[in-house]
């Protein structure tokens, strides 16, 4: 059996590895000249690590990543809104790991034979009969996996009339700061803006800033430094240490709900199927869950029944998590003083059990033997 995977990001490579390990012939078509990722960190949560366990890579990520750095949310003056009990979270759900994105891509890429990787191939059109038209000619396969991200050509080819991704109203800057002493993975909320700091295994700190802004607006690093100059330590120092050429800015998009993730011999996964806000840090974790589930279903039940089972298993879960992600992040983007004052007074009083209960279905995922068919 042969699979053509469109897109060699985390989701596409994970799907290719999972299918390859089941004896499928795979090719991964990647538009970029090399398989790589942006210079930023990535938090792999307990469910994402369990998905990596399915392809034998979970422990490699646990041992090379920085595990369990989760701590909570603070206000701009440093007081705690939510402070997690890391030991308790770990006991309930398992480990977290923070990695450099490029390291995860390298790990996945190394689990594939070199001839499966086809960089520099731009996919132009995908047909439900398994034909993929691209800059190198065309490919035909028993299964096409559309893992080509939020602006997916696969999705547009299969469902040309669906609305595209929508801008959620805030933009994101990301950079990796030189080594700094930070107490854990902390997000700090202001009015319509927030700052995140996540320690990396080598002592450097992955930082991100999210702020309300019109789509396509661009902000210089100097402006960010001035904006956060009076926030609690070490935020001003982290921003001062950033190299202007290493700061990435991307607007935040999410995808309206799809009514199906499959069409004929093709399926979409990861951001191509359910691009979500980054608030829960679940986009890549869900792409990993999709990838191992898809490989298990099509390999166990055949492409047609397997894709139906994949859609039934993955669509409700990923759409529920996308909704939750949108909801948990929205109070950080409130701009009314009365609302944020209320928020800052209410959040510290919330029982931590409430927070844990809302996230339990997300974190407790395990790969079942292939989902029920028929
Ligand atoms: C600021 C921010 C922080 C985040 N933090 C986290 C986090 O901590 N944890 C987490 O789990 N998730 C996080 N996410 C989400 C996560 O980054 C994405 O959900 C995940 O990378 C999606 O992977 P993917 O493989 O589906 O898509 P992508 O990573 O977008 O990969 C798609 C690939 O397809 C290729 N491609 C596109 N079009 C074509 C074409 N026509 N032909 C050939 N190739 C093509 C692209 O070049 C790319 O390599 C975050 C997202 C953002 C924006």
Token pair listed for 226: 């001035």
Any atom of ligand 1 within 6 Å of the Cβ of 309: no
Any atom of ligand 1 within 6 Å of the Cβ of 112: no
For ligand 1, atom 50, the nearest C-alpha belongs to: 278
Q: How many CB atoms lie within 10 A of CB 317?
A: 18
CA–CA dist 285, 293 (Å, integer): 12
Helices (H), the chain: 10-21, 46-54, 58-64, 86-93, 101-110, 153-158, 221-227, 235-240, 271-274, 283-301, 303-329, 337-346, 352-363
The atom number, within ligand 1, closest to the CA of 42 reads 8
The series of mean pLDDT values per 10 residues for the chain, 374 residues long, is 98 98 98 89 95 97 82 94 87 91 96 98 98 98 98 98 95 95 93 96 94 94 96 97 93 96 98 96 98 98 98 97 94 96 94 82 82 57
**Residue to mutate, 65, 206, 261, 284, ligand 1, most ligand atoms under 8 Å from C-beta:** 284
CA–CA dist 142, 129 (Å, integer): 8
Any atom of ligand 1 within 6 Å of the Cβ of 287: yes
Ligand 1: distance of its center to the CA of 157 in Å?
A: 19
Show the domains of the chain with their CATH numbers.
2-166+254-363 (3.50.50.60)
Q: How far is CA 255 from CA 128, 240, 288, 304, 362, in A?
A: 21, 34, 18, 25, 19
Any atom of ligand 1 within 6 Å of the Cβ of 51: no
What is the strand order of the sheet 66-67 is part of? Answer: 41-44, 97-100, 66-67
pLDDT at 348: 94
Any atom of ligand 1 within 6 Å of the Cβ of 153: yes
CB-based burial of residue 3 (10 Å sphere; 0-12 exposed, 13-18 middle, 19+ buried)? Answer: buried
pLDDT at 372: 57
- By DSSP bridging, strand 41-44 and strand 205-212 are unpaired
Angle at 93 between CA 92 and CA 99, to 5 degrees: 140
Any atom of ligand 1 within 6 Å of the Cβ of 274: no
Q: Would you say 367 and 51 are in contact if contact means Cβ atoms under 8 Å apart? A: yes
């Amino acid at each position: 059996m042969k699979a053509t995977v469109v897109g060699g990001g985390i989701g596409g490579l994970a799907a290719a590895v999972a299918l390859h390990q089941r004896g499928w012939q795979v090719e991964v078509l990647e538009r970029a000249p090399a398989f790589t990722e942006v210079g930023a960190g990535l938090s792999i949560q307990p469910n994402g690590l369990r998905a990596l366990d399915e392809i034998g890579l979970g422990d490699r990520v646990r041992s090379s990543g920085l595990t369990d750095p989760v701590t909570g949310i603070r206000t701009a003056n440093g007081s705690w809104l939510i402070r997690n009990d890391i030991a308790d979270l770990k006991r309930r759900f398992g480990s977290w790991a923070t990695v450099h994105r490029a390291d995860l891509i390298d790990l996945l890429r190394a689990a594939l034979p070199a001839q499966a990787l086809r960089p520099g191939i731009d996919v132009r059109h995908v047909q439900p009969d398994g034909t993929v038209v691209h800059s190198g000619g065309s490919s035909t396969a028993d299964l096409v996996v559309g893992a080509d991200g939020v602006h997916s050509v696969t999705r547009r080819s299969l469902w040309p009339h669906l609305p595209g991704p929508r801008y959620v109203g805030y933009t994101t800057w990301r950079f990796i700061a030189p080594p700094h002493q930070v107490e854990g993975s902390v997000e700090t909320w202001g009015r319509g803006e927030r700052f995140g700091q996540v320690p990396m295994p080598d002592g450097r700190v992955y930082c991100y800033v999210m702020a309300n802004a019109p789509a396509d607006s661009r902000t210089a690093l100097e402006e960010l430094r001035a904006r956060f100059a009076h926030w609690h330590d070490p935020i001003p120092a982290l921003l001062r240490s950033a190299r202007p050429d290493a700061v990435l800015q991307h607007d935040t998009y999410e995808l309206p709900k799809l009514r199906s993730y499959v069409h004929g011999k093709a399926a979409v996964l990861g951001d191509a199927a359910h691009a979500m806000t980054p608030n829960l840090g679940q986009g890549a974790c869900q792409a990993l869950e999709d990838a191992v589930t898809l490989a298990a279903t099509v390999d166990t039940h055949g492409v047609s029944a397997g894709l139906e089972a994949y859609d039934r298993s993955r669509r409700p879960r990923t759409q529920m998590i996308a909704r939750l992600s949108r909801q948990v992040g929205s109070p950080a983007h409130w701009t009314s003083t009365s609302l944020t004052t209320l928020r800052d007074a209410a959040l510290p009083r919330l029982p931590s059990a409430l927070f844990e209960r809302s996230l339990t279905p997300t974190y407790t995922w395990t790969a079942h033997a292939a989902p029920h068919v028929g």
